[in-house]
Amino acid sequence: MDDLMLQIARYKQQGFFCSQILVLLGLEALDRENPDLVRAMHGLARGLGSGEVCGALTGGVALLSLYAGCGEPGGQEDPCLGVMLQDFVAWFKETYGVPFGGIRCTEILGDDPQNQVRCGQMVLGAYKKAIALLIENGFDLYGLDK
């Protein structure tokens, strides 16, 4: 198991969910803490709390937005954000939605509790894809400068 997967497992053992873990990994790379943001991400957990859109998808979108979204009055999102989000969602649908029958937690996990093993792998895949998109678009992963 690589270091990144071990960190994902540690966050999971601490009680965090997919969406939160992705943002925690991003904050960790930036050497920052933001408990309010992590708490807000909990609302995306378990498919918006109702088995809907997978938290690995929504968490990946939030991770991209952490780097490229607008964060202050009068500020603007990075021009690359829209394309990165489209690319990420298309990748997620192809990589996980097609084989598992959709992008909802209920479709991905089905009725078998053993399928929850998929969650860690999906978080890992989503993180790696988001990071690749950020690098491709010139973002400094350890700061918010492009």
Model pLDDT for residues 38-78, shown as the tens digit of each residue: 999 999 998 898 889 999 999 999 999 999 999 889 989 99
Q: What per-residue confidence (pLDDT) applies to 81?
A: 97
Residues 58, 2, 31, 135: is their CA dihedral positive or negative?
negative
Q: Give the model's confidence band at 146: pLDDT under 50 very low, under 70 low, under 90 confident, else very high.
A: low
Q: What per-residue confidence (pLDDT) applies to 143?
A: 67
Q: What is the pLDDT of residues 1-43, one digit of tens each?
A: 589 999 999 999 999 999 999 999 999 999 999 999 999 999 9
Q: What per-residue confidence (pLDDT) applies to 86?
A: 98
At 52, phi and psi to the nearest 5? Answer: -80, -135
The Cα-based distances of 82 to 58, 102, 141 in angstroms read 14, 22, 18
Q: Which residue has the higher pLDDT, 90 or 47?
A: 90
Residues ≥6 apart with Cβ < 8 Å to 100: 107, 108, 118
Domain parsing of the chain, residue ranges: 3-136
Q: What per-residue confidence (pLDDT) applies to 96?
A: 96
Of 75, 63, 73, which is closest to residue 139 (Cα–Cα)? 63
The rounded Cα 49 to chain-centroid distance in angstroms is 16
